[in-house]
Structure 1
Amino acid sequence: MRETQQVLNNWKFKACKDNEWLGAIVPGCVHTDLLRNGVIKDPFYATNEHDLQWIDKIDWEYEARFDVEERLFNASSLELVFDGLDTYADVYVNGKHVLSADNMFRTWKADVKSLVTAKDNVMLIKFRSPVQEDLPKIEKLGYNLPASNDQSELGGLGAQKISIFARKAPYHYGWDWGPRFVTSGIWREARLEGWSDSRINDVYVRQDQVSASEASLTVSVEIESEHAWSGLVRLSADGQTWEQEAHLAEGVNVIEIPVTIEQPKLWWSRGLGDAHLYTFTAELSKEQQTIAAKSVRTGLRSVRLVRDKDAVGATFYFELNGVPVFAKGANHIPNDSFITDVTEERYRHEIVTAAESNMNMLRVWGGGIYEQTIFYELCDEYGILVWQDFMFACSMYPGDQAFLNNVRLEAEENVKRLRNHPSIVLWCGNNEIDSAWAQYDEKGGWGWKKEYTQEQRAVIWADYETIFHDILAEAVDAHAPGTQYWPSSPLISLSGDINQHAHPLSTEGDVHYWGVWHAVEPFENYNVKIGRFMSEYGFQSFPEYDTVMTFATEQDLALDSKVMRAHQKNGDGNRLIKEYMDIYMSEPKDFSAFLYMSQVLQAEAMKMAIEAHRRSMPYCMGTLYWQMNDCWPVASWAGMDYYGKWKAMQYYAKRSFADTMLSFDKTDDGKVNVHIVTDLLAPLSGDLRLTLYDFAGALIKQVSTKVAVAGNSAAVVFSIDEQEWLAGHEAGNVLLYAELEQEGQLVDSKEHYLVKAKEQKLTAGTIHISEVEGSNGTLFSLATDVLAKQVWLTAEGEGMFSDNFFDLIPGVAKTVEFRLRESGERMSKPAAAGKVQARSMIEFLAESKVEQA
C-alpha cells in the first residue's frame, strides 16, 4: 500500500504537578496554551514577561487519545513521527516509553506497530524543564560559557547561562530585541505514518552543472524497503521522463538517476529574471503498479560564492548563472516569540514585503530556528536568495561527545531537508562567534577570553573548531555538495592567525559594522566603513503609536517608564536613539512625535548606509541590514514591526534598493556627485535633470545632460560645485533634486540636502490631497505650497500606500496608490483607502505650533 498519514489532534496538557487537564492546540507550546486557557495574561503586554518566568522552571505533560485509521492500522510498518519537540521530552504510547528527545531542531520517530490498538490509544509526552535539565551542566563543566544575550538574570538564574547547552532556539532565552520565553511543547506536526512494502523517503535533485544551454543533474531517490525486490523508478519533470531499474535490498536504498535537460528555464533572483521552478516526481513501480511516489520542487541554477584575490584584498559576492549579484536585503529573525503563532499569511507578508522592497536576499540569522518549509518555498517563488545560518549565535558551546553527536545529526537532517530549495545559496556556521572570541587577537573580541585560564581557553576553542570548522562543514559537503559553507559571520578567511577575524575595514570576507549605534559613531561613517559584503549593520527606532498602545497605556509614554524600558531590550537603546536625535534632528514636541521622528532618524541612517554600499559596487557586493522583522512589539532595529506595519525605514529601503537608483554624495572639496547604480544587466542611457529648489518651490538653477552607465554597475555621472550652485542662497533653505528619465519615462528621482535635518529651515504649509478621478479611491495626488518633509500618510482603510515618508516639493507632482494584499495573493492590489491624512515633519517639532493639516 501507498504511504499514508494521520495527524494527531485532540490534545490536552497540564503541569506535571497538577491534576487538572486543560485543552491544548498542537502545534503549539505551553505559553500559548496557558494564554488560550486564561491562565496567564498576554505575555507581550506591559511587563507581563517578567511575571511569566515561572513557566520554564516546571515540567509539563501533553496527552492525546486516538484511534488508528483502518488503512494505517493494516500497514505492515507504523511509525509515530514528531517534526519538532521542544525540547527535552519523553514519549509514551499506551504506557510504554518509545523515545526521548533532546533537540528542538530534529525529527523524532518511533516504531509503534506493536504498541497501538485500533481504538482508544493514549499518548503521553512529558516535557522536562529546560532550566532544571541544564543547570547541573554548568556545575559539571566547572564554569559558565559566554552567552551575551542570554537574559539569565531576568529568568531568575543570576549569571548562570544555560542556553548554550540546549539545542533549542537561542532567542527563547532573550536577545537584545526579544523577550525571554523559554518554551516547551510540540512545535511542529505530530502524526502517524503507515506503509507497506516500500516507500520513498527522499528525492534530491543534485545540480552537477547548469547553464542556459543544458542542465546536468543527478536525482537521488532514497527508497526504504521491507524486503529485497526489483522494480522500476520513473522520474518526470516538465513533460520529460527518465527511467531506471531499481534492485532493492531490505532497508534503505539510494537510486541515482542521471538527468539532462536541454535549454532549461533557469531560476533567477528577483530583478534578474523569472524564479522558474520545476517539479520532479519520482514513482516506484512493480509490475506496472505504482508502489510509492514523491514530488519535490526546485529551481535550476548555478551559484557560487566568489572570493578571488584582487588588488586590495579579495572579492565576496554571489554569482548566479554566471552573473555577479549585488545582494540587497536584511537579516531575518523568527516572526514571533511563539513560533506556532506565525501563520502562512504572516510568512507571505514578510516575503512579499522583501520582494516589493526590491530585495533579493534574506539572511536567516543563527539565533532563531531553521525556518518552516513555507518560508523557503516563498523565497523560491519570489526569487529571494537565502543566506542560511546554522542555529548558533553570540555564544561559545560545549564540546562533550553527546552534544557534538546531537549537533551532527541536527546539521545533517536540516541540510537534507532544505537542500532542494534553489533560494539557499550559503550555509553559515554561526553568528559573530569568531569575532567575539577572537582567538588570535589577545586584545580583540568582546572580552570573553579574559574570563578563562589558558587551559580552559584551549578547550573552548578546540570545541569551537570541532563544531564550526569540522562537523557543520562536513554536513554541507556530504549532503549538499557544491553549496558554499562559511564558518562564521563576519569572517575574513580561515587563516588561523589574527587576519582571520573581521573588522569594520576588512578588505576580504563579510563585515558586521556596528560603530554606528553601539559605539555612537556618526552616521557619516557609513560612507567610509564599507566592506566587501555588509552582512549586518543597523539603527533602532520605535514602532508607531498604534503598535506601542498594544502594550502600553498613555501613562507609560515616556522613555524611562518601566513599560517602555521593558520593551527596549538593548540596555542603552532609548538613550542612543535620543542621543542621535539630538545630533541630527530637532526636538519632537511630545512622545507621539518622538515615535515618528525615531522612525525618520532610523530611515535616514539606513538610507545613508545602503546607498553608500551600493555606490561602492563592485568593491562592495552586498548589503543586508539588521533587521527585517520583529518577534514581539518592541523598539528595535526592524524595518517593519511585529504587526507587519512598515516603518519609515521600509519605505526608504524600497527606494534605496530600487533596481536602478540615483544617489548623491559629497566630497571633501565641496563637490556633490550624482551616481547611477543599476543591478539590471542591460546598459542604461537616459536623461539626467538636476534642479536646485528653495523650500518654497522656486527654481534657482537647473541643468540637463545625457548619461550612460554599463549594466550591473555604479558610476558617477555628474558633479557640481556646491558653492557655485548655491550662489549666495542659504544652504539650509534649498535642496537638490535629481531625475533620471528614459524615453520620457521617470526611472528614479532623489532629493539631496546640503545640511543636517535640524539645520533645515522648515516652515508650515498645507498639503493638498486629491483623489485621482476614476481610481475608485485608490490613487491620490499630493501637492504642497512649501517643502513638506517625510510626509506620513495614513488611511481609514486596511492596507498601505505604494510610497510613504517621502519629501514633497512644491510644483513636483506626486501620486501614490493605496494597496491591499488579499489572503493568499502573490502581490498587493489597489484598494479603497477611505479618508486619507498627511502629516509632515514640521508638525512633530517642539517649536512648531502647526495644527494637523
Structure 2
Amino acid sequence: MTKRFIYLTLIGLLGFPVFTNAQNHRRLELDNNWYFRQYDTKEWLQANVPGCVHTDLLANGKIEDPYYRTNERELQWIDKVAWEYKTNFEIDDFTYVKKQKRLTFYGLDTYADIFLNGHKLGHCDNMFRTWSYDVSDMLKKGRNELNIVFLSPTGQGLKEMEKYGLALPADNDQSVLGGMENKKVSVFTRKAPYNYGWDWGPRLVTSGIWRPVVLEAWNEVRIEDTYIHPLKVDSKLAQLNAEITLTAAHPQTADIEIRHGNRIVSQQSVPLKSGKNRIGLPIKIKHPKLWWCNGLGKPHLYTFDICVKTGAQTLDNKQVTTGLRTLRLVRKKDKAGETFYFELNGVPVFAKGANYIPNDAFLPRVSRSDYEKVIADATEANMNMLRIWGGGIYEDDYFYELCDRNGIMIWQDFMFACAMYPGNPEFLENVRQEAADNLIRLRNHPCIALWCGNNEIGVAWRHNSPGGWGWKQKYSTEEQERIFQAYQDIFHRILPEAVEKYTDDMAYWPSSPMSGPGESDFELLPGTSGDNHYWGVWHGKHRLEAFADNVGRFVSEYGFQSFPEFETVKKYTVPEDYNIESDVMASHQRSGIGNLRIKEYMSWYYRVPENFEQFLYMSQVLQAKAMDIAMRTHRRAMPYCMGSLLWQLNDCWPVASWSTTDYYHNWKAAHYAVREACKPVIVVPRKNGSQLELWVVNDRLKKVKGNCIIELQDFEGNVLNRIQADFSAEGNRSVLIDHIGSDRLLKNHPREKTLAVVTLRNGNKILDEHHVYFTEPKNLDLPAHPRITTRYNEKNGRKFLTVTTDKLACDVMFYSPGNTVRFSDNYIDLLPDRTYTIELFTDITDPEIKTRFIQ
C-alpha cells in the first residue's frame, strides 16, 4: 500500500514579588539575584530560580543541549558532584518588625543543606516535600544571605544503599549509562524516578531549587490551610465543612467569616490557643451547580474567601476554589467478577483518557503555557481522565487547576514505580510526611478521583505466587520477606492511612494493576476485576486484533509506539543520523526493542517504506490504527469495561515513544484518531467471523436515535451497495444495532478494491463516520495517482483549506516543513467527490498562505 503526503510547503532584574494582606502579612518570593557553582570551586555563575543545575549550566554555555544527538552521555558527571546556590535579599523595616517570620522551600531537589546568614537551618532529603523553617530570630534588617548546598544525589543514594545493606530491583534505572555499573540507587532517594532514566526518557539526574522559595512575615494569625470537605452533595443541597488550620501567636478570640461572592455562607467566633488550631465551620449551598467531567456537563467551580478578624481588623485571609460533586470508585461483585468504575454525581462514567508523564526532564522549564497546551490536547481529544503516573512528580498546582476548569478527572499515583523500596524507619517516615504534604496540598481539587499507591510493583513482585518480572528469584527467602514487608508497610499501611486521615472520602488503590485491594491480589488477564495493564500488543507481539480478546474491567495502561514527525526528529539529529538503527536514533529510543518492533508490526499491516521520512510517517499511521482499535474496543465493551487510559499522552524530551503528542506538543496521527474514538457517540464496526457487527456507544446521559448507513464503495467513489439500519441507544450504553453478513455486504466485489463507509446520523447531523476495509492495508489495490486539490479561504479571521480528491487517498498527512501549523484534522482518508474543510492554526499571514499553501 502506497501512502501519500500532502506537503503544504512555505519557502523562504526585577524586584521580589511582594504580597501584603491588610498590612498584616507580607510574602516575598526569593526568585532573583541567585548564583551557583560547583561546590568548593571559585567560579560563581548566574542561576535561575526555580531552576536546576543542568539548565543553569546550559544557560551559561558550560554544556551543550542535553537533548541533541547523544550529548546526554557526556553529562553524567553532573550528578556525581555537589553544587551550591546563593542569593542576597533585603529585609525592610515593615517586614523586620513582624513577630513571626517563616522561610518555606516548596521544592528542593533533593539532598540539601540550607544556611541562612551562616547558620544551618536544616537538611532536606525529599524532592516531593515542602520544607518550612521559623526564621523569626535569624533575619537581619537589611542584607541577608541564603546558601543551599546540594549533595550529589547518586553519591547520597550509594550511601543509603550501603547503609540498608541490600540492593533492590529497579529495572528502569539506567545505572550503566550513568557510570554506576549495576548500582541502582534511585529507589533509596525520594526523587522523581524518571530522572534516572526510563524506557522513554533520558538519564539526567537533576539537582536544584525546582519550586519557589518564599519568605512570609506576620504578627498575629496565619491561615495555614482550608479544606472544603464535602459531607453530602447533590443537586438540591451541598453540605460542606470548612476545616481550617490556623497558627496563632498567642491566645486570643477571633471571628472567622467565609464568603461566596458577596454572601456570607458561614461565620463563627472562636477562641484560639497559642500555636496550631483546627476549626470546622459548616457551609450549606442550596441547589448547587455541580462539577462534571468533560463531556457530561460543565465543571462548575466555587470560590470561597476565608477571613480571620478581630473587630474591624483583618488578621489574615485565604481564597479556596473547589468543585461540588460526589466522585467515588465503585467495586461491586457481579456475575463476571467485580466492577471497577468511577461514579460522578451518581452517574457511572466511562473513563476515556491517557497516562501522563512530566512534560520535561528539567521540570522548572515547564511553563504555564505548556500546561495549558497539554490539558487542551486532552480536552480537545474528548478525554475525561488522565492518570498521573507514579514515576514522575506530584504535579504543579496550576496543572490541577486546569484539570478542575476543564473537567479532567485525575487518577493520581503516589511516586513509586517499577521497583521495590526500602523499609527502614527513616525512609518510611519520609514517605509518611511526603504523603501528608501532597494530600493536604491537592485535596481541594475536584478533579482528583483516586489515589493509587504505585505503578506495577505488585504485579512485578507477585509475592508467594508464580510469575512476576523475575525479581524475587534473585533473593533468599529471608530477603524476600524483608523486601515484601517494606512493600506492605508503604502501600497497605502508610499510604492508605494518610489518604483516610487527610481526605476522609477519597478512594485508594494500592497498586496498578491489581485484581483487588488485598496484599496479594495482583493482575489477572484479561481481568475480571480491578484494573488491567495490557501489553500483549507491543511487548507480547500480539496482533492489534488481540485488543478485542483482552478487555479488562478498567484498562489503565496499553499502548503502541511511533516516531515523532520529521520536523521534530530534525531538531535532535543531522542527516547522517537518518536511519532508525543509527546511534542517535537508538539513543532517542529508550525501549531497546522499539525501533525494530515498530518495523516488524508495520510489515504485518503495511508496506514498509525505505525512505526515512516516510517511515516516520508510517509509524504514526500504524500507531493511530492501534489506538483507534483499542479505544473503540474498550468502549464497545461497556459496562463490563469502564475505563481506557492509553499509554501515554506526552513526552519529556524529543524521542520515539508511546506518546500521542510529541515533546513540542505536536499531535501525532494517534491523537487525531483517539479524538474521534472518544467522541460522545460513536459507531464501532466489529468483524466477527463472517459477520460485520455494528455497535453504537453513547456516553451522553440521554437516549440517541437515528440511522446507521453502510455504503460499500469502490476507490473511485462509486456506491456498490447501501444498507441502512435504524438505531436507538439509551444514555450511557453500548448497544449492538445490527450484524451484516460479509456476502450480503460485499456482493462478490473484490475485498482489495472496496471499503465500507459507516455513517451514524441523527437527522441531518453526522454523529460519527468510520471506514471499514476488508483486507490488510498492504493488500489494498489503491489508485496510483489521485488528484488532490486544495483551496484556501478566510472567514472571520480564521484560516481554512478546502480539499478534494478524484480517487481514494488514505491516511493523508497535511504537513508544513519548517513552519508551525496545526490542522483541525489530519491523517485522514479522503473520499472521492467530497469536500473536506480543514482549519489552519498558524501565525502565517494570509498572503503567504494564498501563494504557498495551494496545490
When normalised by structure 1's length, the TM-score is: 0.95
1:59 aligned partner, one-letter code: A
**Corresponding position: 1:408 with 2:418:** no
C-alpha root-mean-square deviation of aligned residues, in Å?
1.6
2:316 aligned partner, one-letter code: A
- Following TM superposition, the consecutive aligned residue runs of length 4 or more in structure 1 with deviations greater than 4 angstroms are 772-777, 830-838
CA contact (8 A) 1:818 1:833 kept: no
Of 836, 841, 844, the match for 1:814: 836
| Counterpart Cα distance in 2 of 1:834 and 1:547 | 26
**Cα displacement (A) at 1:832:** 9.3
Report the 3-state secondary structure (helix = DSSP H, G, I; strand = E; otherwise coil) of the residue aligned with 1:517.
coil
Please give the residue correspondences for 1:189-338 in structure 2 after superposition, counting only pairs within 5 Å.
189-241=212-264, 242-338=266-362
CA contact (8 A) 2:792 2:850 kept: no
Match for residue 86 of structure 2?
63
The alpha-carbon distance between structure 1 residues 832 and 118, as it changes in their structure 2 partners (threshold 3 A), is: farther
Report the 3-state secondary structure (helix = DSSP H, G, I; strand = E; otherwise coil) of the residue aligned with 1:174.
strand
**Cα displacement (A) at 1:140:** 2.8
| Counterpart Cα distance in 1 of 2:444 and 2:136 | 32
Match for residue 179 of structure 2?
156
The alpha-carbon distance between structure 1 residues 19 and 224, as it changes in their structure 2 partners (threshold 3 A), is: same
The alpha-carbon distance between structure 1 residues 540 and 69, as it changes in their structure 2 partners (threshold 3 A), is: farther
**Cα displacement (A) at 1:310:** 0.4
Please give the residue correspondences for 1:165-176 in structure 2 after superposition, counting only pairs within 5 Å.
165-176=188-199
Match for residue 456 of structure 1?
479
| Counterpart Cα distance in 2 of 1:61 and 1:750 | 58
| Counterpart Cα distance in 1 of 2:45 and 2:676 | 50
Of 91, 100, 106, the match for 2:123: 100
2:693 aligned partner, one-letter code: N
Of 665, 674, 684, the match for 2:686: 665
Match for residue 723 of structure 2?
703
**Cα displacement (A) at 1:496:** 4.4
CA contact (8 A) 1:233 1:245 kept: yes
CA contact (8 A) 1:99 1:109 kept: no
CA contact (8 A) 1:45 1:551 kept: yes
CA contact (8 A) 1:45 1:552 kept: yes
Report the 3-state secondary structure (helix = DSSP H, G, I; strand = E; otherwise coil) of the residue aligned with 2:308.
strand
| Counterpart Cα distance in 1 of 2:588 and 2:795 | 45
1:455 aligned partner, one-letter code: E
CA contact (8 A) 1:778 1:831 kept: no
Superposed CA offset, 1:702-757 (max 9, x none): 12232111011111212211122212211011111011222211111111111111
| Counterpart Cα distance in 2 of 1:820 and 1:538 | 30
The alpha-carbon distance between structure 1 residues 290 and 270, as it changes in their structure 2 partners (threshold 3 A), is: same
Please give the residue correspondences for 1:798-813 in structure 2 after superposition, counting only pairs within 5 Å.
798-813=820-835
1:120 aligned partner, one-letter code: R
| Counterpart Cα distance in 1 of 2:619 and 2:435 | 40
Of 645, 649, 672, the match for 2:666: 645
Match for residue 841 of structure 1?
none
2:94 aligned partner, one-letter code: R
Match for residue 735 of structure 1?
755
1:75 aligned partner, one-letter code: K
The alpha-carbon distance between structure 1 residues 495 and 777, as it changes in their structure 2 partners (threshold 3 A), is: closer
**Corresponding position: 1:350 with 2:366:** no
2:52 aligned partner, one-letter code: C
Report the 3-state secondary structure (helix = DSSP H, G, I; strand = E; otherwise coil) of the residue aligned with 1:179.
strand
| Counterpart Cα distance in 2 of 1:170 and 1:835 | 50
Q: Which runs of 5+ in 2 are unaligned?
A: 1-22
Please give the residue correspondences for 1:318-397 in structure 2 after superposition, counting only pairs within 5 Å.
318-397=342-421
Report the 3-state secondary structure (helix = DSSP H, G, I; strand = E; otherwise coil) of the residue aligned with 1:282.
strand
Match for residue 472 of structure 1?
495
Match for residue 638 of structure 2?
617
Superposed CA offset, 1:284-340 (max 9, x none): 010122111001100000011000000000110000000000000000000000001
Match for residue 13 of structure 2?
none
The alpha-carbon distance between structure 1 residues 836 and 617, as it changes in their structure 2 partners (threshold 3 A), is: farther
1:367 aligned partner, one-letter code: G
Superposed CA offset, 1:673-696 (max 9, x none): 121111110100012211000111
CA contact (8 A) 2:599 2:608 kept: no
Of 701, 704, 711, the match for 1:691: 711
Deviates more, 1:279-288 or 1:772-781: 772-781
| Counterpart Cα distance in 2 of 1:768 and 1:69 | 68
The alpha-carbon distance between structure 1 residues 439 and 820, as it changes in their structure 2 partners (threshold 3 A), is: farther
Of 675, 698, 701, the match for 1:678: 698
* Identical columns (%): 45
1:513 aligned partner, one-letter code: Y
1:424 aligned partner, one-letter code: I
Please give the residue correspondences for 1:739-778 in structure 2 after superposition, counting only pairs within 5 Å.
739-763=759-783, 764-772=785-793, 774=795, 778=799
The alpha-carbon distance between structure 1 residues 4 and 821, as it changes in their structure 2 partners (threshold 3 A), is: farther
Superposed CA offset, 1:41-99 (max 9, x none): 00000000000000000000001011113322121111111100000000111111011
CA contact (8 A) 2:509 2:517 kept: no
**Corresponding position: 1:138 with 2:161:** yes
Report the 3-state secondary structure (helix = DSSP H, G, I; strand = E; otherwise coil) of the residue aligned with 1:120.
strand
Match for residue 601 of structure 2?
580
CA contact (8 A) 1:85 1:103 kept: yes
| Counterpart Cα distance in 1 of 2:325 and 2:738 | 37
CA contact (8 A) 1:64 1:122 kept: yes
2:737 aligned partner, one-letter code: V
Match for residue 12 of structure 2?
none
CA contact (8 A) 1:768 1:783 kept: yes
CA contact (8 A) 1:5 1:193 kept: yes
2:579 aligned partner, one-letter code: A
**Cα displacement (A) at 1:780:** 2.2
Superposed CA offset, 1:237-294 (max 9, x none): 1443111111100000011001111100000001111100000111001012211100
Deviates more, 1:720-729 or 1:77-86: 720-729
When normalised by structure 2's length, the TM-score is: 0.95
Match for residue 107 of structure 2?
84
| Counterpart Cα distance in 1 of 2:500 and 2:185 | 31
| Counterpart Cα distance in 1 of 2:741 and 2:61 | 67
**Cα displacement (A) at 1:481:** 0.8
Of 565, 584, 600, the match for 2:586: 565
CA contact (8 A) 2:388 2:412 kept: yes
| Counterpart Cα distance in 1 of 2:588 and 2:579 | 12
**Corresponding position: 1:6 with 2:28:** yes
| Counterpart Cα distance in 2 of 1:111 and 1:776 | 55
Deviates more, 1:89-98 or 1:704-713: 704-713
CA contact (8 A) 1:793 1:837 kept: no
Report the 3-state secondary structure (helix = DSSP H, G, I; strand = E; otherwise coil) of the residue aligned with 1:346.
helix
1:12 aligned partner, one-letter code: Y
| Counterpart Cα distance in 1 of 2:86 and 2:850 | 49
| Counterpart Cα distance in 2 of 1:813 and 1:747 | 18
Match for residue 54 of structure 1?
77
CA contact (8 A) 1:2 1:199 kept: no
Of 169, 184, 191, the match for 2:207: 184
CA contact (8 A) 2:24 2:315 kept: yes
Of 808, 813, 833, the match for 1:787: 808
CA contact (8 A) 1:795 1:836 kept: no
Report the 3-state secondary structure (helix = DSSP H, G, I; strand = E; otherwise coil) of the residue aligned with 2:613.
helix
| Counterpart Cα distance in 2 of 1:309 and 1:331 | 27
**Cα displacement (A) at 1:528:** 1.1
Of 510, 515, 523, the match for 1:492: 515
Superposed CA offset, 1:334-385 (max 9, x none): 0000001100000000001111000000000000000000000000000000
